Amino acid sequence: MSDPSFTPRPVPAVETQFRRIHTQFPVPESLPILQKLHDFELRAMAGQPPVVWDRAEGFQVYDAWGNKWLDWSSGVLITNAGHGRKEIADAISAQAQHTLLTNYCFPSAIRAELCERLVGLMPEPLKKIFLLTTGSETVEFAVKIARIHGHKIGGRSKNVIVSFEKAFHGRTMGSQQVGGIPVLKEWIGNLDPGFVQVPFPDGYWTEDTSFELFERTLAENGVAPSQVCAVILETYQGGTAAFAPPQYIKTLRQWCDGHRALLVFDEVQAGFGRTGTLWGFEHYGVLPDLTTWGKGISSSLPISAIVGKPELMDLPNPGSASSTHTGNPVCCAAALANVDLIVKENLPHNAAVVGEVLQEGLRKIKARFPQAAYLAGKGLVAGLACVKAHKQPDGELAHAIVWRCVEKGLLMFSPVGPAGCTIKIAPPLNITAEAVREGCAVLEEAFEEVLAERAATTPDAVAQA
């Protein structure tokens, strides 16, 4: 492989309660595995730090060569209840041993049980559910419901889906048109004009947080409010961890009601306790008409869901909405065990309490390093954006810091957000305050070292040497 990041090099040994690094990095013995993936897997799958996972438990990830990482990724915000939970593994095993591994849309008791359990966690009137496989699928179905409803109450012209710039809603064609990242849509070519994005009021990348900007942007795009069938937003933006001001969302709820548009919250990342409440939209004091789930729903196997008002969810005719693996019985077993753990162990509360320890540690880093210019998040999700100057993303710095952290035993996925400048932090929700403090110390060390090395190789520093 020509990728220099796959060349093993010595790194300082680490041995703490939560981390252990005692090999070169990448591990020389891992190169055959990395080579196979390079040779046989599409290159779009590349880009993550070259840690070859062998097993994971709680909030730690292990390779097969004795190294141990403190995990700040949760895979990709999946393992809310923690990695490798015995309760989830046992539920999966029991269902598999029962030998019902799939049943398409034919009824099953376990699918009925999961539907009842999940709907029981939702406030009125969000009482109908559709189980799917991926977050992208749930967004696609939300678009379908929004347009069916729009056509029903306002004719074919009421078909505009409004979403937000910089948003990520999935990898399929419809979900990427909902998303607000232009580079991800270039392959589509003939974009649907019924998808329109407005600025997200994060207060940094978009300094204007007034709702007037929402209305003005629609007008500038030639969209009348009567044409809008739905507004969809991530509860927090996945690429930055930014929340909107609560009053903005309250006004948006009123605007949607006034113009008979649906309000859809994409909770694929935020749901199941991640932000310190069971559902992220609780921070805004409003209810959506539809909400989408994924990732943390099972802490393990692929399953997702969309939940909403019965009169909306029942709009498609029987047989017109299905999915090959909808409500897969093994995935349902995992989800039921996961929900029980999240509720029984009150993991949303732990996310709120330990999340404040995380946010405090990150605020300290932001205050020390001007290059860490923008911090966002709640609970156990955060985004720390690296910049060269105000609103000038520095993806190279973010990448270098994440890689340095991984070499020190703190695992994160590759930076995200504008120009890949945001260090995204999302540990399992059962992490302890002590482990979070250690992770913050490692991140601070990485900032210090990488910035010192960068300063030493600038032209001015070289000339002085």
pLDDT digits (tens, 9 = 90+) for 300-359: 999 999 999 999 999 999 989 999 999 999 999 999 999 999 999 999 999 999 999 999
Is the predicted pLDDT of residue 424 greater than 60, yes or no? yes
Q: Which of 283, 318, 344 marks a domain boundary?
A: 344
Write the CATH number for 144. Answer: 3.40.640.10
Is the predicted pLDDT of residue 174 greater than 70, yes or no? yes
397 and 260, same structural domain? no
399 and 321, same structural domain? no
Per DSSP (E only), the strands in 199-343 are 228-234, 262-266, 290-293, 304-308
Whether the Cβ atoms of residue 348 and residue 273 lie closer than 8 Å to each other: yes
Identify the weakest region by mean pLDDT among 143-147, 322-326, 378-382, 454-458: 454-458
103 and 230, same structural domain? yes
Write the CATH number for 446. Answer: 3.90.1150.10
Domain, as residue range, for 238: 86-344
Tokens 């006034």, located at residue: 258
- How many domains does the chain divide into? 2
User: CA–CA distance from 344 to each of 81, 119, 349, 433 (Å)?
Assistant: 11, 17, 11, 20
250 and 377, same structural domain? no
Q: How much is the CA Rg of the chain, to the nearest whole Å?
A: 23
Identify the pLDDT of residue 461: 44
Q: Which of 311, 326, 344 marks a domain boundary?
A: 344
Identify the pLDDT of residue 34: 97
What does the mean pLDDT of the chain come to? 96
Say if residue 15 is exposed, middle or buried (CB neighbours under 10 Å; 0-12, 13-18, 19+): exposed
pLDDT band at 56 (very low <50, low <70, confident <90, very high): very high
418 and 392, same structural domain? yes
Identify the pLDDT of residue 1: 57
237 and 132, same structural domain? yes
361 and 449, same structural domain? yes
pLDDT band at 463 (very low <50, low <70, confident <90, very high): very low
109 and 128, same structural domain? yes
- Peptide bond preceding 26: is omega within 30 degrees of 0, i.e. cis? yes
Q: pTM value?
A: 0.96
199 and 338, same structural domain? yes
pLDDT band at 458 (very low <50, low <70, confident <90, very high): confident
257 and 113, same structural domain? yes
Neighbours of 186 (CB within 10 A): 9
334 and 361, same structural domain? no
pLDDT band at 6 (very low <50, low <70, confident <90, very high): confident
Q: Which of 309, 327, 344 marks a domain boundary?
A: 344
- Distance CA(263)–CA(284), nearest Å, equals 13
337 and 354, same structural domain? no
